[in-house]
A and B are shown apart, each in its own frame.
Chain A
Amino acid sequence: MEDMIFYDRLQFAFTITFHYIFPQLTMGLSLIVVYFKWKFLRTKIEKYNTAAKFFMKIFAINFTMGVVTGIPMEFQFGTNWAKFSELTGGIIGQTLAMEGMFSFFLESSFLALFIFGEKLMGQKLHFFTGFLVFLGSWASGWFILATNAWMQHPVGYEILENGKYVLQNFSALFSNPWLLPAFLHNQLASVVTSSFVVASIGAFYVLRNKQTEYGKLFLKTGVIFGLISSVLLAFPTGDWNAKNVAKYQPASFAAMEGIFQTEDAGAEIVLIGQPNMVEKKLDNKIAVPNILSFLTYQDWDKQIAGMDQFKKEELPDNIPALYYSYHIMVGLGTIFIGVMALALFFLWRKKLYNSKALLWTIMFLVPFPYIANITGWYVAELGRQPYLVYGLLRTSDGISPTVSSGNTLFTLLGFVALYMLLGLLFLLLVGKTINQGPKPQTH
Chain B
Amino acid sequence: MEIFWYIIIAIVLAVFFILDGYDFGTGIIHLFFAKNEKDKEVIAKSAGLFWDSNEVWLVAGGGMLFMAFPTFYASVFSGFYLPLIIVLWLIVFRAIGLEFRSQFKYQMWKDIWDKSFGVSSLLLALFFGIALGNVVRGVNLGGVENGVSIYEGHYFFLPLWDSSFSPLSTTPGVIDWFTIIIGLISVVTLAIHGANWVILKTNSSINNKLKSIIFKLNIVLTALTIFSLMVWQIVNPSSLDNFIDKPYLIVFPLIYMTGLIGLFFIKKIKKDIYGFMLSTLLILGGITSSLASLFPVLLPSVNTINEPLTIYNTSAAEYGLSVALTWGIIGFILLFVYMIIQKRLMGGKIDKMDYGH
Contact B89 A418 (CB under 8 A): yes
The number of chain B residues with a CB under 8 A from chain A is: 63
Name A158's closest neighbour in chain B (CB-CB): B317
Contact of B53 among A74, A94, A109 (CB under 8 A): A109
Contact of B233 with A by CB under 8 A: no
The docked-state distance in angstroms from the alpha carbon of A399 to that of B84 is: 17
Residues of B within 8 A of A109 (CB): 53, 56, 338-339, 341-342
**A91 vs B66: C-alpha distance when bound (angstroms):** 10
Q: Is B24 an interface residue (CB 8 A)?
A: no
Q: Closest A-chain residue to B355, C-beta based?
A: A116
Which of B60, B68, B79, B81 has its CB near the most chain A CB atoms (within 10 A)? B81
- Structural contact, A99 and B63, CB atoms closer than 8 A: yes
Per-residue 0/1 for B155-199: is the Cβ within 8 Å of any A Cβ (1 yes, 0 no)?
Answer: 111000000000000000000000000000000000000000000
The contact string, 1 if C-beta is below 8 Å from chain B, for chain A 269-306, is: 00000000000000000000000000000000000000
Give A63 to B52 CA distance when docked, in angstroms.
10
Residues of chain B from 50 to 95 with CB closer than 8 A to chain A in the complex: 52-53, 55-56, 58-60, 62-64, 66-68, 70-71, 73-79, 81-82, 84-85, 88-89, 91-92, 95
B151 CB contacts on chain A under 8 angstroms: 401-402
Q: Which residues of B contact A75 (CB under 8 A)?
A: 62, 77, 84-85, 88
| 19 A-B pairs (CB sep. < 8 Å) | A61-B99, A71-B88, A85-B74, A86-B75, A89-B73, A90-B316, A97-B324, A97-B328, A102-B334, A105-B56, A105-B338, A108-B56, A164-B317, A166-B316, A167-B320, A167-B323, A400-B78, A407-B81, A422-B92
A91-119: CB near B (< 8 Å → 1, else 0) gives 11110111111101110111011001100
Binding site secondary structure of chain B: helix
Q: A166-B317, A402-B155 are in contact. Are A96 and B89 (CB under 8 A)?
A: no
Chain B nearest CB, measured from A197 CB (Å): 20
Q: Does A83 contact B (CB under 8 A)?
A: yes
A77 nearest CB neighbor, chain B only: B66
* Docked CA distance A101–B73 (Å): 18
CA distance A345 to B155 in the complex (A): 62
A358 in the interface, Cβ–Cβ < 8 Å? no
Q: Whole-angstrom distance between the alpha carbons of A192 and B332 in the complex? A: 34
Inter-subunit contact A93/B346 (CB<8 Å): no
Contact A414-B85, Cβ < 8 Å, known A78-B66, A167-B317: yes
B103 touches A97 (CB 8 A): no
Q: A422: which B residues are within 8 A, CB to CB?
A: 92, 96
Please count the residue pairs between chain A and chain B whose beta carbons lie under 8 angstroms apart in the complex.
209
For window 123-171 of A, CB contacts with B under 8 Å fall at: 160, 164, 166-168, 170
Q: List 9 A-B pairs, minimum CB-CB distance, nearest first.
A: A89-B70, A78-B77, A93-B67, A90-B316, A97-B63, A101-B331, A400-B78, A82-B78, A402-B157
Q: How far is the CA of A112 from the CA of B82 in the complex (A)?
A: 33
- Using Cβ atoms and an 8 Å threshold, which residues of chain B touch A86? 70-71, 73-75
How near does chain B come to A300, taking the closest CB pair, in angstroms? 46
CA distance A75 to B84 in the complex (A): 8
Apart from A71-B58, A77-B73, 9 more pairs, CB < 8 Å: A96-B66, A98-B63, A102-B334, A109-B339, A112-B49, A116-B49, A401-B152, A402-B143, A402-B156
B100 CB within 8 Å of chain A? yes
Q: How far is the CA of A68 from the CA of B85 in the complex (A)?
A: 13
User: Which residues from B are CB-within-8-Å of A168?
Assistant: 319
Q: Which residues of B contact A110 (CB under 8 A)?
A: 338
Let me know if A85 and B63 touch, CB within 8 A: no
B320 with A85: CB separation less than 8 A? no
Contact count band on A = 35 or more
A403 close to B157 (CB less than 8 A): yes
Let me know if A318 is at the binding interface, CB within 8 A: no
Given A100-B60, A102-B331, A117-B345, the answer on whether A93 and B66 have CB atoms closer than 8 Å is: yes
Tell whether, in the assembled complex, residue B157 and residue A418 are in contact, meaning their CB atoms are under 8 Å apart.
no
Measured CA separation A98–B89 after assembly (Å):
25
Which residues of A377-416 have CB atoms within 8 Å of chain B's CB atoms?
400-404, 407, 411, 414
Q: How far is the CA of A79 from the CA of B100 in the complex (A)?
A: 29
Q: Which of A25-76 contact B (CB under 8 A)?
A: 61, 63-64, 67-72, 74-75
CB-based contact A112/B53 at 8 Å = yes
Q: Which A residues lie within 8 Å of B60 (CB)?
A: 97, 100-101, 104-105
A99 to B103, CA, bound (A): 31
A216 to B92, CA, bound (A): 37
Contact of B96 among A79, A98, A106, A425 (CB under 8 A): A425
Instruction: Tell me whether A106 and B338 are in contact (CB under 8 A).
Output: yes
Partner of A78 from the list B76, B327, B353 (CB cut-off 8 Å) is B76
Query: Any chain B CB within 8 A of the CB of A120?
Result: yes
Separation in Å of the B314 CB from the closest CB of chain A? 9
Residues in chain B near residue A252, CB distance under 8 A:
none
Q: Which residues of chain A from 158 to 201 have any CB-CB distance to chain B below 8 Å in the complex?
A: 160, 164, 166-168, 170
A100 touches B62 (CB 8 A): yes
CB neighbours of A170 from chain B (8 A): 320, 323
- Of B56, B156, B157, B346, the contact of A104 (CB 8 Å cutoff): B56
- A68/B92 contact (C-beta < 8 A), A79-B78, A112-B53 known: yes
Q: Pick the contact of B55: A67, A167, A418 (CB < 8 A).
A: A67
Q: In the complex, A401→B79 CA distance in Å?
A: 9
- Indicate whether B250 reaches chain A with its CB closer than 8 angstroms: no
Contacts of A72 in B (CB 8 A): 85, 88
Contact between B95 and A67, CB atoms less than 8 A apart: yes
Query: In the bound complex, what is the Cα–Cα distance between A97 and B84 (angstroms)?
Result: 19
| B354 contacts A by Cβ under 8 Å | yes
B335 is an interface residue with CB less than 8 A from chain A: yes
Contacts of B64 in A (CB 8 A): 93, 97, 100-101
Contact yes or no, A89 B63, CB < 8 A: no
Tell me the smallest distance from the CB of B5 to a CB of chain A, in Å. 10
Question: Of the candidates A68, A80, A106, A411, which one forms a contact with B95 in the assembled complex, judged by CB atoms under 8 Å apart?
Answer: A68
